[in-house]
Amino acid sequence: MKKVIGIAFLVSMLVSPWAVSSPDGGLVDRINEARTYPNKAEAVEIADKEKMQHRKMHSEKRHSPHK
């Protein structure tokens, strides 16, 4: 009985590194990180462009002659 337990323990110790370190082991972590922390720099740049377009639109309205 001790021999069977010893062999099972040795086999589990030999197989466990492959079970833990699969080729896509870090892929799920990277995907979750990307979802959790979106690229805020892009969002700020887009917001700044929209602000400038809005200001430009209003300044053009203000300076256009009335009919």
Residue ranges making up the domain that contains 44: 24-67
- Which of 43, 44, 66, 47 has the alpha carbon at shortest distance from 55? 47
Q: Is residue 1 part of a domain?
A: no
Of residues 15 and 49, more confidence is placed in: 49
In a domain, 2, yes or no: no
In a domain, 50, yes or no: yes
In the prediction, which pLDDT does 5 show? 92
Residue with the bigger pLDDT between 57 and 65: it is: 57
pTM over 0.75: no
Residue 59 in any domain: the answer is yes
Alpha carbon distance 54, 28 (integer Å): 40
Domain count, the chain: 1
Q: Is 33 within the bounds of a domain?
A: yes
Q: Is the pLDDT of residue 32 over 60?
A: yes
Is there a domain that residue 10 lies in? Answer: no
